[in-house]
Structure 1
Amino acid sequence: MPVNGFLTAGGIVAWPLLAFSLLAFTLVIERLAFWFRLKRRQRRVAKEVLKLYKSEPSTVIPRLEQNADLPICRIFLAALDLENPNPEEFRLALESAAQAELPTLKRFSTVFETIIGVSPLLGLLGTILGLIRAFSFLRIGELSDSTTTGVTGGISEALVSTVMGLVVAIFTLLFANMFRGFYLRELALIQEYGGQLELLYRLNYEQGERFYASTP
């Protein structure tokens, strides 16, 4: 069935479902590009920064600034940019910066949830409207061609709208769950490397080695 015919068969609810599908597809592409960039670079850069902090702390901030598009680098910068913080202040800076990154990591999650919840309801609405249309053509004792066409058209609208609603919701749900998994793993990574940086800073602080990443 051509796209135009499919939309016509789906009735009035086919158009908002089409808009939802296009929106979901666009946002999925954006999130895939975002997570691909993070997974390709972030772990490697974080390990490099921690290694540099142990041996050449003066090179850490320039390295972080080169990769400031990565959440973990922005978190590290927020703590290392402080002027002579104690370990508690350093930890709070890491935690606050990590919290500030959460909206970026969870971006569009509310939109995905809305599409997942509303699409099946729109499909159900289309089903009801299609059945109403089908029954409106029924006449007791009458079975003309126009009646048959009207009834089959109403049933077609009911079925197509239901399928469209379910397809849009299932497609969005699969990717939303995948992105949630990426988000949870990203939180674990931030906690892991943030904890390592905090431990290194605390050890240096307790040993009286007051060297910081910004110190030449």
Structure 2
Amino acid sequence: MPLLTLLLQAETVQDTIAAANTAAATTTAAVTEKVSYLEFVLKGGAMIYPLILLLFFCIYVIIERAMTIRKLSKQDANLLNEVRSQLRAGRIENAALVCAREGNSSAAILKAGIQTIGRPISEIESVMEKTANIEIAKMEKGLGYLGLISGVAPILGFIGTIAGVIKIFHSISTTGNLNIQTISGGLYEKMISSGAGLVVGVIAYSGYHLYNMMIDSYTVKAEAQTLELINIIQSPDGN
């Protein structure tokens, strides 16, 4: 009888432990399901809020620059041919009007050169170069913000993590309550700040360098276009 009683008690204890584990797992799953991504991110502390603002501003700059650069760097393959035809016919004003209707940087550079026809070639080149610099500056407007964000965002995230760690250890020193749950729970929340800062920094860094590559590519094309116009002007028959 005592042996049977012990076996029954052991089975009861096992059933109780299994039930407790199942309940704990169910509760944990329920809590995990209820936590949204936004709530999870906001656990990162006070530095999360400026990082969120930087993220939205970064996305705005990326979209705005994409639209602007696409518009300004657009090139019409037939534009130079039309300009050549007008110049061969001696219609300089018409050639300038052809450029004016395009509304992009390439047309603006060509127009500046056409309007100075009759002056020394060096002066025409200088005017076109200055115009190109102005158009490129229009494309680069706002990219400095992306460069700044790419450097500042990770630092803000790191500051948030360090501040959180300091707070955790200050709490431990004052309360004397040291356990793995307190440390790990606090650390994972504060590491969210560093992760968020890195994500924002990577987005800004990628946008900054991508657009600079696009602008550099356009600069080479603009220089080639300038040379072509100079050759047209210098050619006796306009070919």
Secondary structure of residue in 1 paired with 2:43: helix
Match of 2:229 in 1: 197
Secondary structure of residue in 1 paired with 2:141: coil
From 16, 39, 44, the counterpart of 2:77: 44
- Which structure has the greater CA radius of gyration? 2
Match of 2:101 in 1: 66
The amino acid of 2:226's aligned partner reads G
Match of 1:35 in 2: 69
Alpha-carbon RMSD: 2.5
Contact 1:78/1:93, CA 8 A, preserved across alignment? yes
Match of 2:16 in 1: none
How far the C-alpha of 1:57 sits from its partner, in A, is 5.1
Q: Is the alpha carbon distance of 1:127 and 1:89 closer, same or farther for their aligned partners in structure 2, counting shifts above 3 Å?
A: same
Provide the C-alpha distance between the structure 2 equivalents of 1:23 and 1:179, rounded to a whole number of angstroms: 16
The amino acid of 1:177's aligned partner reads H
Unpaired runs of 5+ in structure 2? 1-34
Provide the C-alpha distance between the structure 1 equivalents of 2:89 and 2:213, rounded to a whole number of angstroms: 35
How far the C-alpha of 1:141 sits from its partner, in A, is 5.4
1:89-138, Cα deviation, whole Å (9 max, x unpaired): 21221112112222112121211110011011101101101111221221
How far the C-alpha of 1:29 sits from its partner, in A, is 0.6
Match of 1:86 in 2: 120
From 97, 107, 111, the counterpart of 2:145: 111
How far the C-alpha of 1:20 sits from its partner, in A, is 0.8
Provide the C-alpha distance between the structure 2 equivalents of 1:184 and 1:169, rounded to a whole number of angstroms: 22
Match of 1:212 in 2: none
The amino acid of 2:220's aligned partner reads A
1:40-74, Cα deviation, whole Å (9 max, x unpaired): x414254344443454452311211111x211111
From 156, 159, 167, the counterpart of 2:199: 167
Contact 2:83/2:98, CA 8 A, preserved across alignment? no
1:138-174, Cα deviation, whole Å (9 max, x unpaired): 1575358xx955x455313321100000000111111
The amino acid of 1:32's aligned partner reads A
The amino acid of 1:42's aligned partner reads Q
Q: Is the alpha carbon distance of 1:175 and 1:6 closer, same or farther for their aligned partners in structure 2, counting shifts above 3 Å?
A: same
Greater RCO, CA 8 A, separation 6+: 1
Provide the C-alpha distance between the structure 2 equivalents of 1:191 and 1:9, rounded to a whole number of angstroms: 52
Secondary structure of residue in 2 paired with 1:72: helix
Question: What percentage of aligned pairs have identical amino acids?
Answer: 20
Note if 1:99 corresponds to 2:133: yes
The amino acid of 1:74's aligned partner reads A
Unpaired runs of 5+ in structure 1? 210-216
Match of 2:31 in 1: none
Q: Is the alpha carbon distance of 1:141 and 1:128 closer, same or farther for their aligned partners in structure 2, counting shifts above 3 Å?
A: closer
Secondary structure of residue in 2 paired with 1:186: helix
How far the C-alpha of 1:88 sits from its partner, in A, is 2.0
TM-score normalised by L of structure 2? 0.74
From 148, 151, 157, the counterpart of 1:123: 157
TM-score normalised by L of structure 1? 0.81
How far the C-alpha of 1:8 sits from its partner, in A, is 2.8
Question: Size of the alignment, in residue pairs?
Answer: 201
| Displacement over 4 Å in runs of 4+ | 53-57
Q: Is the alpha carbon distance of 1:156 and 1:57 closer, same or farther for their aligned partners in structure 2, counting shifts above 3 Å?
A: farther
